[in-house]
Amino acid sequence: MQIDKTTAINDELQLVHVTITKGSDSYKYAMNTPVLEGDALQAHCDSVEFKHLNNILYQVYDKNIQFSTEDDWDKWIADGCKIAEVKGTDIDGVEITIKAEETIAKKAWVDIEPPVDQAALIADLMKKVEALEAK
């Protein structure tokens, strides 16, 4: 992890801009750290590098997944970034399995109610208003 810049926030915290390199890719990242300098700051940043790399890769691949080791990320990326099977039950208690190759296409919500006769609806509402006013 390369430290690019530090900016004081207050007496206890600073914002540290870093570059994290993963394979041939480099990611710019900003993180809060205690106020440290030199080797102490580098050691602190190195100690939390995987935590921040995990966050970066999570955002880059836009998946609701996290891995506990960098090797797990490497394997997942090398294997084509496929999400494992997800098993569960539906609302009726039927067991379901969604495989990585299967996707659920998004469909726009469509109102399936028949069209309303607006003139009749307005007339009905007017009758109700008149009935309330008569009381």
Nearest-CA neighbor of 2 among 12, 23, 16?
A: 16
Residues 6+ apart with CB under 8 A from 5: 16, 17
Which residue is listed with tokens 């926030």?
9
* Paired tokens of 120: 């009749």
How far is residue 90 from each of residues 86, 95, 96, 98, 109, measured CA to CA in Å?
A: 12, 7, 7, 12, 21
- Which pTM value belongs to this model? 0.55
pLDDT tier for residue 128 given thresholds of 50, 70 and 90: very high
Q: Are 36 and 45 in contact (CB under 8 A)?
A: no
pLDDT digits (tens, 9 = 90+) for 8-50: 999 999 999 999 887 778 889 999 999 999 999 999 999 998 8
